[in-house]
Amino acid sequence: MQGRFRRLFFIVTLVSLLLSACASGVPAGDGAATEGGAEKTTIEFWFEPPSGGESAACILTAVIDPFNAQSDTVFVNAVPQPQAWDSTRTAIAGGGGPDIIGTPGPSFVYELAQAGQLAPLDGFVDQYAWTERFVPWALSLGSVDGVLYSIPDELETLVLYYNKTLFEQNGWTPPTTMDELVQLAEIIDAAGVIPFSHANAEWRPANEWFVGEFLNHVAGPQKVYDALTGKISWTDDDFVQAITILNDM
């Protein structure tokens, strides 16, 4: 059974500076000299490595360094930050911060957009064919009050696998509803088999994904969006029901 897509978004703050620099060479920050002596536009990018130093080095060598090597106009100064989002919020509130930032999701973009701390990106949609490079729903989630402030970086999906051989041996049928899933889990448990296992022992924060899955599947994605944008409260009955079902699992 396949779960709903989980969205992880890469948010671009003041990205217009980077894009315009690529197009016209207009400086957006301090310059970095090229081998030929020309000055590149320096763009600062803060990112939080998923698992420390090794992943930071991988991002730098696999993504940032190749980009800097091939670009004649832009130099990306990528700075690993242990707590990038908290550091970014603090810096932006003080009038500073990087040119390019990442946030955990659309609700964080909403906060910055409402505070007037993000540059609109609508002018680049046609220029860089974003409507062709992103699926419509993914691109639309970067908008706040009809203005595009962010673009997606990564899409993931959560999938529930089942042991086909074990099911065939015991005559079990894959469930198609929540009630069927609960009933089957009880039958499997009674047979002395663990109904569910999760491959997240080495990274337990993955448990937070379950909250998002239940909120989206029980309350529905529209209600989740309304809550993220402040239109309704997280104490809504549908959210309470979703968390109650999760706890009962």
Tokens of 180: 């069927």
- The whole-angstrom separation of Cα 48 and Cα 66 is 19
On whether the CB atoms of residues 79 and 89 are closer than 8 A, the answer is no
Question: Which domains are assigned to the chain?
Answer: 2-156 (3.40.190.10), 160-248 (no CATH)
Of 197, 208, 211, which Cα lies nearest the Cα of 242? 211
- SS3 for 46? strand
On whether the CB atoms of residues 103 and 11 are closer than 8 A, the answer is yes
Tell me the helix, strand and coil percentages in the chain, rounded to 5.
45, 15, 40
Fill in the amino acid letter for 170: N
pLDDT digits (tens), the chain, 249 positions: 333 333 333 434 333 333 433 333 333 455 665 555 568 999 999 888 776 667 788 889 998 999 999 999 999 999 988 888 888 888 888 888 899 878 877 778 888 898 888 889 999 999 999 999 998 988 988 899 999 999 888 766 778 899 999 999 999 999 998 899 999 999 999 999 999 887 777 666 677 778 888 999 899 989 998 998 889 999 999 999 999 998 887
